[in-house]
Amino acid sequence: MSDTKYTPPKVWVWDKESGGKFANINRPIAGATHNKELPVGEHPLQLYSLATPNGVKVTVMLEELLALGHTGAEYDAWLINISNGDQFSSGFVEVNPNSKIPALLDRSTNPATRVFESGSILLYLAEKFKAFLPTDPAKRTETLSWLFWQMGSAPMLGGGFGHFYAYAPEKYEYPINRYAMEVKRQLDVLDRQLADHEYISGSEYTIADMAIWPWYGALVTNKVYEAAEFLEAHTYTNVLRWTHEIAKRPAVIRGRMVNRAWGEPNEQVLERHSASDFDGKAI
């Protein structure tokens, strides 16, 4: 990148040497780069993921379902290392043509049902097990509004602020200021909502909380981007209250560990096939 003013060419050309943390896996085309089948375990639900915020949404949901006694939610979670390009295998592309984690294969149906995009997976599981999504039409609509708020807002946080603040090869004032302003606005939206509600969409813990917490809870507690001080996260007191309360839930603690390949060893469960995989972990 250069300090000089950029004038876009008439036709954009892919620059493989553009840099950045994920430059080695970013490309302007879809499809598989290599042939490799996905592993399959014994449970009806097969999850292919990594413990990024989007991946944590789904593992938290599955662990919460199991905590409620939904034995049909037993699952195998397989690690997809996105830094190595696992998401571009032919097997993964068959489950998610967009090559993004997480991806779910439900083998309890015939034929098996593929589900991709984290919000879609949360909604699919909520409807399948009739849990964490209110049945009252007004409350259901409120929950879905917040679920889709997250899906539309988080790209500004991750692909916008997170990229330019933490991952870009060089730091530039304009994009950092632009996305910092938007992220602070989003935090204010959440803080105002949580001032009058225990959970995001009301008095019930729902898939809206499971979608929003891995992103914004991690942000205000400095677990992503190391930007809590920069964004004055301590001023969003209602978001912090909600963040800490959800973090105490046993299913959330377990869900954060699944497909986690960094941090302390006792906080990592690279693959999850049964509850015994958490034995000896920091729960």
Q: What is the per-residue DSSP string for 36-94? A: -PPP--SSSEEEEE-SSHHHHHHHHHHHHHHHTT-GGG-EEEEE--GGGTGGGBHHHHH
Q: Are 119 and 211 in contact (CB under 8 A)?
A: yes
pLDDT in tens, 149-195: 999 999 999 999 999 999 999 999 999 999 999 999 999 999 999 99
* pLDDT for position 17: 62
* pLDDT for position 124: 98
Q: What is the pTM of this model?
A: 0.96
Q: Which residues of the chain have pLDDT under 70?
A: 1-3, 17-21
* pLDDT for position 1: 46
Cα distance from N-terminal residue to C-terminal residue, the chain:
44
